[in-house]
Amino acid sequence: MRRVRPLLEGAPSEARLSWDDDLPEGVELTSVLADDPLLKGLPEPVDRLAALTRQRSGGATVLRVPAEAQLDRPATVRLTGTDSDAAGGTPVVWGQLVIEVGAYAKATVVLEHSGSARYSGGVSVLVGDGAQVTVVSVQDWDAGSVHGGQFDAVVGRDARFKQVVVTLGGDLVRLVSNVQYAGPGGSAELLGLYFADETQHQEHRLWVDHAVPNCTSNVVYKGALQGEQAHTVWVGDVRIRPAATGTSTYELNRNLVLTDGARADSVPNLEIETGEIVGAGHASATGRFDDEQLFYLCSRGIDSETARRLVVRGFFADVVQHIGIPELQDRLMAGIDRRLGALPDLEEQATPERAEPEHEDQPA
């Protein structure tokens, strides 16, 4: 609470992040005022911080992909904080971005957050009927940065939405992702990767609201932690309402604790209000390095440091590969490698605890 308080108490300000965009032909980037009808129709804020962001952003930036457009490369927006004292008394940066993708379009949008800032931002993705949209959000802030945000997606009829969230840097990052379905046949895939270092707090909360028939959702989040007071929180909530017959949903969270002094909290929740579904379930597991994997690699001549690196790379590989942008995938793996370079010799750590058992709930 202490670290997020500056955002909750932040006054309206003219401070802004530095924007740099690389957009394919046909993609538009415009601004709208707070009273624009587009903003009135967005999902409601889920908490106080999101409500403050909506109120104090003074409007929004809108990225539009025309109906039936087939983008040949990602639309990239780089948001950079230029605050040299993000932990001090400098103004909070408020921001709102709306990504509007027309019917039957196919698009990938990459949002990259870096630099130093105290930032509270909202992102709303409106996915038209039959569209296929991937949104990748990378949080690679400098030390001392604070980032709170709400990420909404409204998925149209027979549309496909994929979100990839990657959180590496910052002092505190708290992101809330919400998915709603505007028509039957929609699918949502929510993937996440996070790596918390010493004293970092990273929190990811998800809410998937199945309220219409024949939609699917799949959630996979993986995290690693190292260092004293590294702390991650993952909460996944899925609700299947009475009208959402034919729903198929699954959520998974796994955490790899690399050192003593780090803590991972994982809370999957599933609320089912109809028995007429295809399937629903969740799983959660938190544990240490797999000693057998390390022994196997070391017995084949691989040194312990390289073996540990390979284990962590393998742990994250399936999430990274789903991004589908090779250059970005390579950069992210390089960032993970840099963080692993600070990993102390595990032999100096206390005897590893046994991994917590995987908790799984799979209705018949």
Tens digit of pLDDT for each residue in 109-135? 999 999 999 999 999 999 999 999 999
Task: Give residue 304's pLDDT.
Answer: 78
Residue found by looking up tokens 């990993």 in the block? 343
Angle at 344 between CA 293 and CA 354, to 5 degrees: 45
Task: Give residue 361's pLDDT.
Answer: 55
Rounded to 10 deg, the angle between the 291-298 and 304-321 helix axes is 120
User: What is the band of 82 on the pLDDT scale with cuts at 50, 70, 90?
Assistant: confident
User: What is the band of 4 on the pLDDT scale with cuts at 50, 70, 90?
Assistant: confident
Task: Give residue 354's pLDDT.
Answer: 37
Which of 270-279, 286-295, 316-325 has the lowest average pLDDT? 286-295
Q: What are the extents of the domains in the chain?
A: 5-289
Residue 22 near residue 151, CB atoms below 8 Å: no
Highest mean pLDDT among 8-17, 254-263, 335-344: 254-263
| Mean pLDDT on 176-200 | 98
Task: Give residue 306's pLDDT.
Answer: 83
Strand partners of residue 201: 172, 231
Give the list of residues 6+ apart from residue 334 with CB closer than 8 angstroms, or none.
none
Residue with the larger pLDDT of the pair 157 and 11:
157
* CA 241 to each of CA 194, 213, 245: distance values in angstroms, whole numbers, following the listed order: 30, 9, 8
SS3 state of residue 335: helix
Of residues 56, 59, 50, the one with CA closest to residue 176 = 50
- Stated as kind and residue range, the H or E segment containing 328 is helix 326-340
**d(Cα 95, Cα 343) in Å, to the nearest integer?**
35
Residue with the larger pLDDT of the pair 296 and 152:
152
pLDDT in tens, 203-249: 999 999 999 999 999 999 999 999 999 999 999 999 999 999 999 99
Instruction: Reply yes or no on whether the pLDDT at 86 is more than 80.
Output: no
Instruction: Reply yes or no on whether the pLDDT at 358 is more than 60.
Output: no
Residue with the larger pLDDT of the pair 291 and 334:
334
Strand partners of residue 107: 133
Taking the complete model, does pTM exceed 0.85, yes or no? yes
| Mean pLDDT on 57-83 | 95
User: What is the band of 146 on the pLDDT scale with cuts at 50, 70, 90?
Assistant: very high
Give the list of residues 6+ apart from residue 249 with CB closer than 8 angstroms, or none.
208, 210, 216, 217, 218, 238, 240, 270, 279, 280, 281
Residues composing the chain: 364
What's the sign of the alpha-carbon dihedral 311, 232, 221, 71?
Answer: negative
